[in-house]
């Protein structure tokens, strides 16, 4: 069992001992720290926070603990209940709230939950804010409200519908064009809140929906991370139903994966590539993804005469670079689409609507669209080290060995070779170097990873 405290929030397994897991006491402490930070950083007399959750089994308990803690601090709460991460992100500015909390452990299994924290823009907190909240957690320096100053909870039950309405208003989303195409789509929402949101969006766009695991009961029928090895059932069902494609989302609906009409994976990395291809064809501009995402986005961006930039890993880093470079679309290679015309957060509803419109315009099969893009293959590995080894020194040695290549040290060391790349990142919690590679064949990506592992071992030996 585990409890992980970081600048992006607190995440842990339910049950067990306080301080080792996400217990009610840990939940209250972290919610109190966030509320205290809000009070320290706002001039508003009465603060307001939006709170929503995914469908996991512990959600109601964690939400009640969180909301009542905020009430105890004198903060008003907008309870939007069963929701998605992007829905909460949209609700914060719509409610003119001071912040938001999303109760979700994203793609982690059902025993996990987490508190993810937003600012008044509905965006994830930066590192400085996160660090300050962690300080409050450690010091337990909270000032609760007196009885006449307690906060109040008000309930909003229509925010998924509002979110869908906002998506359908986007200029590049064309529901009528999609409706005319008569698409049939299978949806696997891993029995979480995407089972409400995605089918409702599709039906509004005139799409025939075949539901697979769309009952939001929190009983995940398979590992909720939308990777090929977990998605055998929907791959078979798409082919059996003769559907145009399949849609897979994670429990909080910020990661989006497609299955083509043959029942084959479109590739999580290519979700962003396809949406960017469509957006750039209508609104030329720049793009951003993180250093561990596919080179295919760079290729597509340059095809449309835009400039591609790579950020450090982490959504908050992607968003900041998108703002700095005025990017028209960006995201992460795990199927996270960030479209600033909507909001600065990964949003599977936005990604789905853009992809459907693109598909309706192209009048091609999903597999044919995939074949239009450069073929890249990734390999993800790690090398475990002993605690006494100087990981930073190893990364510096790798950098020096390849100084003639294109190198980025924004986040670890990334080496861009002409035909492939390798990205080395150290873990902040254990003596591990994570090794990401990409090449034009799976064999090439795997071989590059093994070559880099051998190189690291050689550096250690010397």
Active site residues: 106
> 155: Cβ–Cβ under 8 A, 6 or more apart, which residues?
79, 80, 81
Place of tokens 């998924």: 160
Closest of 341, 310, 337 to residue 325, by C-alpha: 310
- Residues ≥6 apart with Cβ < 8 Å to 90: 122, 159, 162, 163, 166, 342, 343
Element (H, E) at 379: strand 377-384
According to DSSP, the β-strands at 413-416 and 406-408 are antiparallel
Instruction: Tokens 């909240």: give the residue.
Output: 133
Do strands 208-212 and 153-155 pair parallel, antiparallel, or not at all (unpaired)?
unpaired
Query: How many Å separate Cα 313 from the centre of its chain?
Result: 11
| Rounded-to-integer distance, Cα 376 and Cα 414, Å | 17
| Contact assessment for residue 123 and residue 89, using Cβ atoms and an 8 Å cutoff | yes
Structure tokens at 221: 């029928």
């Amino acid at each position: 069992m585990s409890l992980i405290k970081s600048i992006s929030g607190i995440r842990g397994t339910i049950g067990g001992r306080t301080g080792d897991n996400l217990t009610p006491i840990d939940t209250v402490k972290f919610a109190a720290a966030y509320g205290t930070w809000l009070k320290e950083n706002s001039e508003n007399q009465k603060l307001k926070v939006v709170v929503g959750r995914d469908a996991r089994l512990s959600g109601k308990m964690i939400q009640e603990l969180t909301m009542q803690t905020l009430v105890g601090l004198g903060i008003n709460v907008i309870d939007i209940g069963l929701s998605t991460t992007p829905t909460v992100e949209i609700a914060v500015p719509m409610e003119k709230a001071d912040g938001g909390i999303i109760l979700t452990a994203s793609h982690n299994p059902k025993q996990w939950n987490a508190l993810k924290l937003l600012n008044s823009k509905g965006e994830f907190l930066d590192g400085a804010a996160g660090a300050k909240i962690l300080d409050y957690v450690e010091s337990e320096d909270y000032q609760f409200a007196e009885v006449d100053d307690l906060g109040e909870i008000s309930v909003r039950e229509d925010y998924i519908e509002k979110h869908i309405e906002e998506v359908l208003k986007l200029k590049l989303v064309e529901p009528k064009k999609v409706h005319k195409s008569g698409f049939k789509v299978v949806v696997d929402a891993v029995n979480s809140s995407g089972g409400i949101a995605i089918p409702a969006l599709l039906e509004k766009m005139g799409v025939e929906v075949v539901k697979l695991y769309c009952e939001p009961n929190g009983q995940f029928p398979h590992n909720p991370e939308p990777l090929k090895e977990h998605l055998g059932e929907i791959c078979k069902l798409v082919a059996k139903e003769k559907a145009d494609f399949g849609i897979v989302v994670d429990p909080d609906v910020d990661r989006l994966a497609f299955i083509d009409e043959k029942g084959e994976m479109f590739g999580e990395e290519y979700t962003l590539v396809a949406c960017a291809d469509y957006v750039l064809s209508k609104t030329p501009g720049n793009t951003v993804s993180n250093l561990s995402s596919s080179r295919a986005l760079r290729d597509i961006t340059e095809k449309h005469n835009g400039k591609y930039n790579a950020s450090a890993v982490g959504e908050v880093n992607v968003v900041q670079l998108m703002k700095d470079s005025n990017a028209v679309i960006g995201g992460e290679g795990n199927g996270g689409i960030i479209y600033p015309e909507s909001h600065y957060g990964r949003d599977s509803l936005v990604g789905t609507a853009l992809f459907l419109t693109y598909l309706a315009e192209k009048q091609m099969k999903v597999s044919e669209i995939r074949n239009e893009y450069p073929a890249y293959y990734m390999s993800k590995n790690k090398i475990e080290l002993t605690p006494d080894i100087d990981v930073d020194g190893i990364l510096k040695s790798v950098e020096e060995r390849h100084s003639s290549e294109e190198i980025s040290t924004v986040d670890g060391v990334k080496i861009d070779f002409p035909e492939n790349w390798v990205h080395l990142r150290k873990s902040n919690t254990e003596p591990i170097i994570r090794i990401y590679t990409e090449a034009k064949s799976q064999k090439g990506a795997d071989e590059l990873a093994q070559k880099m592992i051998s190189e690291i071992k050689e550096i250690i030996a010397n």
